[in-house]
Amino acid sequence: MTVKSSNAVPKSEQQVKNLAKPGRRLFKKLLWAEIVGLLLLGFLLLLFNGLLAKPIPDSYIPISGGDLQISFSGDFTQQEVHIVERWLAEMTDAVETVYGQFPLAKPHVRIYRANSGSGPVPWGQINRPAKSRVDLHVNLNFDYPTIRDDWTAVHELSHLLLPYAGSRDSWFSEGLASYYQNIARANAGLLSERQAWQKLYQGFRRGEQNTERRTMPLFEAVKSRRGNTMRIYWTGAAYFLMADVRLRQESNGLQSLASVLKQYRACCLPNHNTVPVLRTIKKLDQLSNSKTFSELYQQIINSQQFPDYKKAFAQLGIDVRWGGVRFSDEQTKQQLRQSITKPASQ
């Protein structure tokens, strides 16, 4: 009598297992085929929808002496398109308050959808090679008043007032835009007079604190850039404030930064190329028949200190107490201040 091992499998059970193997293999093949089919179907649907989706036509809104072209990158509803058009109409109107005209006759703005990032307009830039196109990333999940209150669009559009000075002189380009992001919005009624000067003061304080933490000449701060952003932006804004005040005072109100920029528009824009800062400063001096821009440049470019904006504030009748701006009632100072920012509701 043969004794079978306890591990031996009865013949009938082994036959069952052998019969089950082809079924399992077939099931796996069918499962993989279904997965691949679903993936392929999803890809084809995306491709089909992409082919059927009609690109959003460019919008055009009137500006002084021309039209603003608005392009959309991505999917936007018709309602969202109308919101963007309304918003950009207000932002371009603000920049037009600088000297009564928009810097370019045919500006172009491209809108990208932003679903993340800080604030309603988390990113903006000027694409100079694309004829100074303004690229703005907008989060339309925010309500219109919040989008309207954002400074980014006016900042970027203000870059168009002068050609790009190059990365080594970014203080000049960013300073002009930082100055007018507040002044232009006040003149358009988007900020009150007090709000505009408060925001400028807060920017100057950030630049001042940045300078105190990282002491070096301005040209070195711009060259290294990292950790010096506030100094770069707000040193430039202080430079243009001081130029504006000086031009107005020395001409008894006949000249201003805005009037010189208007002359620059007539002679030298559009210009989508990088123009060395000293060449632009020389031209601004020539147009103003002064040495205002070059002398202020010499004061700040090698300085390790933040520009003395407090002197300009004093000339404008602006005092700062407990971090808040206060206005003098002295008529001469009030008139000078309100020649820069038109009075609005406080």
pLDDT bracket for residue 42 (50, 70, 90): low
What mean pLDDT is reported for the chain? 89
Question: Cα(78)–Cα(333) distance, rounded to whole angstroms?
Answer: 48
The residue-averaged pLDDT of 37-48 equals: 61
pLDDT, tens only, 293-317: 999 999 999 999 999 999 999 999 9
DSSP 195-232: HHHHHHHHHHHHHHHHHHHS---HHHHHHH-TT-HHHH
pLDDT in tens, 226-259: 899 999 999 999 999 999 999 999 999 999 999 9
Cis peptide before 270 (omega within 30 of 0): yes
- Kindly list the structural domains of the chain, giving each domain's residue range(s) and its CATH number in brackets, ordered by start: 56-161 (1.10.390.10), 163-346 (1.10.390)
Q: What is the pLDDT at residue 225? A: 82
Does residue 64 carry a pLDDT above 50?
yes
| pLDDT confidence band for 55 (50 / 70 / 90) | confident
Burial class (CB in 10 A: 0-12, 13-18, 19+), 154: buried
Tell me the helices (H) and strands (E) count for the chain, helix number first: 13, 7
3-state SS class at 67: strand
Q: 193-234: per-residue pLDDT in tens?
A: 999 999 999 999 999 999 999 999 999 999 988 899 999 999
The count of other CB atoms within 10 Å of the CB of residue 248 is: 22
Q: Given strand 59-63, what is the order of strands in its sheet?
A: 59-63, 66-73, 108-113, 133-138, 123-127
For residues 26 and 83, give the distance between their C-alpha atoms in angstroms, rounded to a whole number: 56
pLDDT of residue 124: 97
- Which pLDDT belongs to residue 342? 77
How far apart (Å, rounded) are the C-alpha atoms in residues 107 and 131? 8
Backbone angles phi, psi at 216, to 5 degrees: -170, 160
Pairwise pLDDT comparison (13 vs 151), residue with the higher score: 151
Rg (CA), the chain: 31
pLDDT tens digits for range 7-23: 444 455 555 455 555 55
